[in-house]
Amino acid sequence: MSFLELTDVHKHYGPVAALAGVDLSVASGSRTAIVGPSGCGKTTLLRLIAGFEAPDQGRIVLDGEVLANGGAAVPAYRRGIGVVAQDGALFPHLSIAANIGFGMRHHEDKRTERIVELAYIVGLDKAILKRRPHELSGGQQQRVALARAMAMKPRLMLLDEPFSALDTGLRASMRKAVAELLETAGITTILVTHDQAEALSFASQVAVMRDGKFSQVGTPRELYLKPKDRMVAEFLGDAIILPARIADGFASSPLGRIAVDSTERRDLVRIMLRPEQVLLKRTSREGMSGTPDMLFGEVTESEFAGSMCTIAVRLLNSPDPPDAAAIGNTPLVLRKPGMDTPVVGEIVRLTVSGKAH
């Protein structure tokens, strides 16, 4: 039995089906990330779990306790769930210290020390504890909201884009610090994020949502390497989609014969590779002669963007194409480390590593 179990959860706002049959199992102490396009129902789902709203239909069970069953059963304040909303939602008239201490019991042992410790953990200076929320930046307010939710010692933590107001460097270090803190405290967590890398690195389970339902739920690795469909593939990173024919555990594609897990024979399918699976080596037109088994392309675009660069390659040949027309029609867009990137017009040799999906 999982710690949190959602079964066939539905929620309508007038004619809009914000949630259209959500099933989800969350293990105790785990971290789940929910990703999906804007408006797909992520925040609505968190609001239902928190108890701010009731489902029209479906069950929400936390640690064996039925929180909702086609309507709210347990009110929000009795659920023991910590929530960090998108905007932080701090109490404007209270100091930062009082905001953080809000959920603690009044006579809790070492109350002040614990407030200072929590502020330190989320990277807030002790000096700002006397201030009011409006005297803080957006990123600082988000960190106060995190500390406040943590102070409650919740049995479940819901985080709705909690790092969105932070800049890239701070975002990564905060994410790591918060993940460690939650891990140490053994708090089961659900994170909603727009950031695919954040979802894949933060969570042990990732759920991709579309139109009020989960398209796929699995480990970060499963979803990244074996997405169920094109939407999941493209949502979690750059994807190279190629036409192919599959037989005997291999796909014939414009990039040659590539191993696949499927042993079924299938014509006219699409396979997917991640860009990092396509390796490039600089060569010249002369280097192409007398090597019919090798795969060559010409660089048609090369965009420098610091550590990673985007390169477009037009295939010049293909040792094993599904049909001749596919050669040259298959534009390949690859992201490569920025040092020593080939320039437009250069000839490159391509090799594929690993399996396609």
- Which residues would be at the binding site for ligand ATP (CB under 6 A)? 13, 16, 18, 36, 38-44
35 versus 124: smaller Cβ distance to ligand ATP: 35
**Phi, psi angle pair for 292, to nearest 5°:** -65, -20
Cβ of residue 16: shortest distance to ligand ATP, in angstroms? 5
- Residue 19 vs 118, nearer CB to ligand ATP: 19
Q: On the CB side of 92, how many CA atoms lie within 13 Å of its CA?
A: 2
Q: Which is nearer to ligand ATP, 21 or 319 (CB)?
A: 21
Please state the closest distance from residue 188 (CB atom) to ligand ATP, in A.
20
- Report which DSSP code applies to 321: -
**Which residue spans within 70-172 are E strands per DSSP?**
81-84, 156-160
Residue placing its CB nearer to ligand ATP in the complex, 16 or 324? 16
The tokens of 142 are what?
A: 């988000």
SS (H, E, C) 218-233: ECHHHHHHCCCCHHHH
> Residue 234 CB, nearest distance to ligand ATP (Å)?
17
DSSP string, 114-159: HHHHHHHHTT--GGGGGS-GGGS-HHHHHHHHHHHHHHT--SEEEE
Beta carbon of residue 232, minimum distance to ligand ATP (angstroms, whole number)? 16
Which CB, 2 or 43, lies closer to ligand ATP? 43
To ligand ATP, the closest distance from the beta carbon of 117 in angstroms equals 32
State which residue, 43 or 95, has the beta carbon closest to ligand ATP: 43
**CB 238 to ligand ATP: min, Å:** 21
Least CB distance to ligand ATP at residue 160 (A): 8
Q: 41 or 82, CB closer to ligand ATP?
A: 41
Shortest Cβ distance from residue 164 to ligand ATP (Å)? 10
Burial of 307 (0-12, 13-18, 19+ CB in 10 A): exposed
Give φ, ψ of 143 to 5 degrees: -70, -35
Which tokens go with 328?
């040259």
How does DSSP classify residue 191? E
Q: Which is nearer to ligand ATP, 34 or 313 (CB)?
A: 34
Question: Whole-angstrom Cα distance, residue 348 to residue 103?
Answer: 60
Distinct helix (H) and strand (E) counts, the chain: 8, 19
Q: Is 270 helix (H, G, I), strand (E, B) or coil?
A: strand
- Shortest spacing between CB 39 and ligand ATP, in angstroms: 4
Looking at the DSSP assignment, which residues form a beta bridge with residue 296? 349
The answer to whether 21 and 213 have CB atoms below 8 angstroms apart is: yes
Instruction: For the chain, report the end-to-end CA distance as a whole number of angstroms.
Output: 32
Q: Which is nearer to ligand ATP, 58 or 297 (CB)?
A: 58
Q: Is 35 in contact with 235 (CB distance < 8 Å)?
A: yes
Euclidean distance between CA atoms 60 and 72, whole angstroms: 9
